[in-house]
Amino acid sequence: MNTKQIEHYKNKLAYEMDSWDLSEAMKENQKIMVVDTRSAEAYEHKHIPNAINIPHRTMTEELTDNLDKEILYICYCDGIGCNASTKGALKLSELGFKVKELIGGLDWWCRDGYDILLRDINGSGKKNLNDKMHKKS
Protein backbone atom coordinates (compact mmCIF):
# COMPACT_ATOMS: atom_id res chain seq x y z
CA MET A 1 0.00 0.00 0.00
CA ASN A 2 1.36 3.42 -1.01
CA THR A 3 0.42 5.69 1.89
CA LYS A 4 1.77 8.84 0.20
CA GLN A 5 -0.45 8.23 -2.80
CA ILE A 6 -3.50 7.54 -0.63
CA GLU A 7 -2.87 10.74 1.32
CA HIS A 8 -2.56 12.65 -1.97
CA TYR A 9 -5.98 11.49 -3.16
CA LYS A 10 -7.59 12.19 0.22
CA ASN A 11 -6.19 15.72 0.08
CA LYS A 12 -7.54 16.26 -3.43
CA LEU A 13 -11.03 15.24 -2.33
CA ALA A 14 -10.77 17.48 0.72
CA TYR A 15 -10.03 20.57 -1.40
CA GLU A 16 -11.70 19.93 -4.77
CA MET A 17 -15.23 19.23 -6.00
CA ASP A 18 -16.50 18.26 -9.45
CA SER A 19 -19.62 19.48 -11.23
CA TRP A 20 -21.74 16.49 -10.23
CA ASP A 21 -20.85 16.86 -6.55
CA LEU A 22 -21.66 20.58 -6.67
CA SER A 23 -24.96 19.95 -8.43
CA GLU A 24 -25.93 17.38 -5.81
CA ALA A 25 -24.92 19.69 -2.96
CA MET A 26 -27.07 22.45 -4.47
CA LYS A 27 -30.07 20.10 -4.90
CA GLU A 28 -29.71 18.94 -1.29
CA ASN A 29 -29.54 22.56 -0.07
CA GLN A 30 -26.24 21.88 1.67
CA LYS A 31 -24.65 24.81 3.47
CA ILE A 32 -22.52 26.00 0.56
CA MET A 33 -21.96 29.21 -1.34
CA VAL A 34 -20.70 29.15 -4.92
CA VAL A 35 -18.20 31.94 -5.62
CA ASP A 36 -17.34 33.13 -9.11
CA THR A 37 -13.83 34.51 -8.72
CA ARG A 38 -13.66 36.04 -12.22
CA SER A 39 -14.17 39.69 -13.10
CA ALA A 40 -17.57 41.33 -12.68
CA GLU A 41 -17.85 41.56 -16.48
CA ALA A 42 -17.26 37.83 -16.96
CA TYR A 43 -19.77 37.05 -14.20
CA GLU A 44 -22.39 39.31 -15.81
CA HIS A 45 -21.93 37.52 -19.13
CA LYS A 46 -22.59 34.04 -17.68
CA HIS A 47 -22.33 32.26 -14.37
CA ILE A 48 -23.59 29.34 -12.30
CA PRO A 49 -27.08 30.01 -10.90
CA ASN A 50 -27.05 31.45 -7.35
CA ALA A 51 -23.30 32.07 -7.47
CA ILE A 52 -22.01 35.28 -5.95
CA ASN A 53 -19.23 37.24 -7.62
CA ILE A 54 -16.13 38.11 -5.64
CA PRO A 55 -13.23 38.67 -8.04
CA HIS A 56 -10.10 37.21 -6.47
CA ARG A 57 -8.26 40.51 -6.94
CA THR A 58 -10.76 42.27 -4.67
CA MET A 59 -10.96 39.74 -1.83
CA THR A 60 -10.15 41.41 1.46
CA GLU A 61 -11.13 40.93 5.07
CA GLU A 62 -13.39 43.99 4.84
CA LEU A 63 -15.14 42.78 1.68
CA THR A 64 -15.76 39.28 3.08
CA ASP A 65 -16.62 40.38 6.61
CA ASN A 66 -20.35 39.75 6.09
CA LEU A 67 -19.87 36.16 4.82
CA ASP A 68 -20.70 33.17 7.03
CA LYS A 69 -17.55 31.30 8.05
CA GLU A 70 -19.57 28.23 9.03
CA ILE A 71 -20.48 27.24 5.45
CA LEU A 72 -18.37 25.80 2.63
CA TYR A 73 -17.37 28.07 -0.26
CA ILE A 74 -16.90 26.58 -3.72
CA CYS A 75 -14.69 28.75 -5.93
CA TYR A 76 -14.70 28.61 -9.70
CA CYS A 77 -13.38 30.47 -12.72
CA ASP A 78 -13.43 29.81 -16.49
CA GLY A 79 -11.74 26.41 -16.43
CA ILE A 80 -8.44 24.59 -16.40
CA GLY A 81 -6.66 27.41 -18.26
CA CYS A 82 -7.58 29.89 -15.54
CA ASN A 83 -6.23 30.08 -11.98
CA ALA A 84 -8.60 32.71 -10.56
CA SER A 85 -10.42 30.02 -8.59
CA THR A 86 -7.14 28.83 -7.07
CA LYS A 87 -6.20 32.40 -6.14
CA GLY A 88 -9.67 33.02 -4.70
CA ALA A 89 -9.67 29.75 -2.77
CA LEU A 90 -6.27 30.60 -1.32
CA LYS A 91 -7.38 34.09 -0.27
CA LEU A 92 -10.62 32.85 1.30
CA SER A 93 -8.68 30.11 3.13
CA GLU A 94 -6.23 32.69 4.45
CA LEU A 95 -9.22 34.72 5.67
CA GLY A 96 -10.49 31.73 7.67
CA PHE A 97 -13.14 30.30 5.35
CA LYS A 98 -13.74 26.64 4.48
CA VAL A 99 -13.13 26.35 0.74
CA LYS A 100 -13.09 23.90 -2.14
CA GLU A 101 -12.27 24.53 -5.77
CA LEU A 102 -14.58 23.44 -8.60
CA ILE A 103 -12.60 21.16 -10.91
CA GLY A 104 -12.78 22.40 -14.51
CA GLY A 105 -14.63 25.56 -13.54
CA LEU A 106 -17.43 27.00 -15.62
CA ASP A 107 -16.21 25.18 -18.74
CA TRP A 108 -16.68 21.70 -17.26
CA TRP A 109 -19.90 22.77 -15.51
CA CYS A 110 -21.32 23.65 -18.95
CA ARG A 111 -19.86 20.56 -20.64
CA ASP A 112 -21.55 18.39 -18.02
CA GLY A 113 -24.88 19.94 -19.02
CA TYR A 114 -25.71 22.00 -15.93
CA ASP A 115 -27.65 25.26 -16.14
CA ILE A 116 -26.02 28.65 -16.33
CA LEU A 117 -27.36 32.18 -16.20
CA LEU A 118 -26.56 33.81 -19.50
CA ARG A 119 -27.04 37.44 -20.46
CA ASP A 120 -29.39 37.66 -23.42
CA ILE A 121 -28.29 39.13 -26.76
CA ASN A 122 -29.56 42.65 -25.94
CA GLY A 123 -27.68 42.62 -22.64
CA SER A 124 -30.95 43.04 -20.76
CA GLY A 125 -31.93 40.36 -18.33
CA LYS A 126 -30.70 36.81 -17.88
CA LYS A 127 -31.85 33.46 -19.11
CA ASN A 128 -31.33 30.22 -17.24
CA LEU A 129 -29.92 28.02 -19.98
CA ASN A 130 -27.55 25.19 -20.59
CA ASP A 131 -24.56 26.46 -22.54
CA LYS A 132 -24.62 23.41 -24.85
CA MET A 133 -27.85 24.70 -26.41
CA HIS A 134 -25.96 27.72 -27.81
CA LYS A 135 -22.99 25.94 -29.39
CA LYS A 136 -22.98 25.12 -33.07
CA SER A 137 -22.24 21.49 -33.94
Domains belonging to the chain, first-starting first, are: 3-134 (3.40.250.10)
Per-residue pLDDT band for 16 (boundaries 50, 70, 90) equals very high
Burial grade of 110 (CB within 10 A; 0-12, 13-18, 19 or more): buried
pLDDT one-digit tens code per residue, 39-97: 999 999 999 999 999 999 999 999 999 999 999 999 999 999 999 999 999 999 999 99
Residue that wins the pLDDT comparison between 114 and 123: 114
